[in-house]
Amino acid sequence: MPAIVIVGAQWGDEGKGKATDHLGSRVDYVVKFNGGNNAGHTVVIGDEKYALHLLPSGILTPGCTPVIGNGVVVDLEVLFREIDGLEARGTDTSRLKVSSNAHVIADYNRTLDKVAERFLGSRKIGTTGRGIGPTYADKMNRIGIRIQDLFDEKILTQKVEGALELKGQVLTKVYNRRAPSVDQTVEELLAHADRLAPYVCDTTLLLGQALDRGETVLLEAGQATLLDVDHGTYPFVTSSSATAGGACTGSGIPPTRIDQVIAIVKAYTTRVGEGPFPTELHDESGDFLRNTGFEFGTTTGRPRRCGWYDAVIARYAARVNGVTDFVLTKLDVLTGLEEIPVCVAYDVDGERYEEMPANQSAFHHAVPIYEYFPGWSEDISGARTLEDLPANARAYVEALEGMSGARMSVVGVGPEREQAVVLHPLR
């Protein structure tokens, strides 16, 4: 006891850092269990700002052990760039643990990610171009390269040969690109092996023993529910399991040991990349949310698509993740709006849907049915209790709670760690 899972309820960028902050120093291990350097979070500690893409946020908390689980795909170049960046600022990174079963992003997969997107043209996914999808595809095709392969040159060479046999042909014959040689790829991967060795271990055993000792393990999802390869808006998703179930497969912690599932949900909705988004705004309200909420990607700098809160999605996230607590973020961004629409159901060709349509075409055609809530103009950034909030802000939070399928435990009212209304302490 206890293992806690944190997931994003929408399409990512909900501000998971807020929940991590509220669990604070009580966490002994922070585990990244899916995705790779497609994620991006900015952590502000004092006057220092850290942009992390691959390392778990726990790397910045003294006494906490950050873990890269088996479900992650690792770009070694990025890993050591982030480690070097932190070390240069005096952060000790020696506690990091990396699963020997995690997969490695090879150079050919970064290339394939980018050329495949170009090839798809108008059907593109809008990926981050970091090689994530092709690396997970290799894992499923059983031609992936794992961290442990880096410590046996003979095996590594065999595996790279196996992977390049087909992928080299695809690169040259389909995409008209130069394929790297086996030697070149092996050399690039081996370049990091010696430095990596001290970090590598059986993280499943490590975490199981930590739980046996009563230590707290926080499993932090990359991306979010609607980007999950199974439960998201497929094919406009990432290639990993970003929901609570993925926390088990991506870390080796069994479902029976998970105590709490916290979902982060923004007071409005954003999405980057392509794909359906029923409450998306193409007018000045969308610009207002984007500019007021600084909705530009941490990883790619892309402006995020913005829209109103969608309670159908929140209910869906509550259901597929087994959410025990919601952390509602960025409520302060809505300050100043006269009226705030909330999507309560969809109209699909004249039929009302209270729940997420099971069919992709229905979701593509979903037209939001809105309920309108009166806004507030008071500055709420200093609010710390529900009573501190203006009546209309309180009513908005209570209405969202009623329609979203789990309690709202924390409400973010500003970017700083302490800028939050705590209704139910997370621990």
Catalytic residues: 13, 41
Closer CB to ligand IMP, 109 or 324, in the complex: 109
Cα separation, 192 vs 163, whole angstroms: 20
> Binding string, 128-167, against ligand IMP, x = CB under 6 A?
x-x-xx----------------------------------
**Which among 11, 75, 7, 13 is positioned nearest to 40, based on CA atoms?**
13
Residue 352, SS3 per DSSP: strand
Cα separation, 199 vs 205, whole angstroms: 14
State whether the Cα torsion 244-245-249-252 is positive or negative.
positive
φ and ψ at residue 407, rounded to 5 degrees: -75, 150
Candidates 17-25, 43-51, 219-227, 259-267: pick the segment binding ligand IMP (CB under 6 A): 219-227
Closer CB to ligand IMP, 235 or 425, in the complex: 235
As measured in angstroms, the least distance from the Cβ of 38 to ligand IMP is 4
As measured in angstroms, the least distance from the Cβ of 128 to ligand IMP is 3
φ and ψ at residue 413, rounded to 5 degrees: -125, 15
By CB under 6 A, name the one of 10, 20, 99, 127 that touches ligand IMP: 127
As measured in angstroms, the least distance from the Cβ of 321 to ligand IMP is 17
Cα separation, 391 vs 248, whole angstroms: 41
Burial of 310 (0-12, 13-18, 19+ CB in 10 A): buried
74 near ligand IMP (CB under 6 A): no
Cα separation, 19 vs 218, whole angstroms: 11
CA atoms within 13 A on the CB side of 233: 24
125 near ligand IMP (CB under 6 A): yes
As measured in angstroms, the least distance from the Cβ of 235 to ligand IMP is 9
Token pair recorded at residue 118: 């170009």
> Binding string, 233-252, against ligand IMP, x = CB under 6 A?
---x-xx-------------
The letter for the amino acid at 314 is A
Q: Is residue 219 a contact partner of residue 306, using CB atoms and an 8 Å limit?
A: no
As measured in angstroms, the least distance from the Cβ of 198 to ligand IMP is 28
By CB under 6 A, name the one of 2, 85, 126, 357 that touches ligand IMP: 126
By CB under 6 A, name the one of 10, 12, 73, 325 that touches ligand IMP: 12
Closer CB to ligand IMP, 241 or 324, in the complex: 241
Cα separation, 228 vs 221, whole angstroms: 10
As measured in angstroms, the least distance from the Cβ of 53 to ligand IMP is 9
- Beta-bridged to residue 370, according to DSSP, are 343
**Total binding residues for ligand IMP by CB under 6 A?**
20
Q: Is residue 420 a contact partner of residue 413, using CB atoms and an 8 Å limit?
A: yes
Q: Which residue is nearest to ligand IMP (CB)?
A: 273
By CB under 6 A, name the one of 9, 39, 79, 147 that touches ligand IMP: 39
Q: Which residues contact 93 (CB under 8 A, 6 or more apart)?
A: 55, 59, 83, 86, 87
By CB under 6 A, name the one of 104, 211, 272, 421 that touches ligand IMP: 272
By CB under 6 A, name the one of 227, 314, 408, 420 that touches ligand IMP: 227
By CB under 6 A, name the one of 10, 20, 38, 57 that touches ligand IMP: 38
Identify the residue whose tokens are 């980007």.
227
> How are the residues of the chain apportioned to helix, strand and coil, as percentages rounded to the nearest 5?
40, 20, 40
As measured in angstroms, the least distance from the Cβ of 298 to ligand IMP is 8
Candidates 104-112, 125-133, 372-380, 400-408: pick the segment binding ligand IMP (CB under 6 A): 125-133
By CB under 6 A, name the one of 273, 278, 341, 368 that touches ligand IMP: 273
Cα separation, 155 vs 277, whole angstroms: 45
Candidates 37-45, 88-96, 199-207, 379-387: pick the segment binding ligand IMP (CB under 6 A): 37-45
13 near ligand IMP (CB under 6 A): yes
Cα separation, 312 vs 321, whole angstroms: 14
Residues of span 334-373 touching ligand IMP by CB under 6 A: none
Contacts with ligand IMP by CB under 6 A lie at 12-13, 38-40, 125-128, 130, 132-133, 222-223, 227, 236, 238-239, 272-273
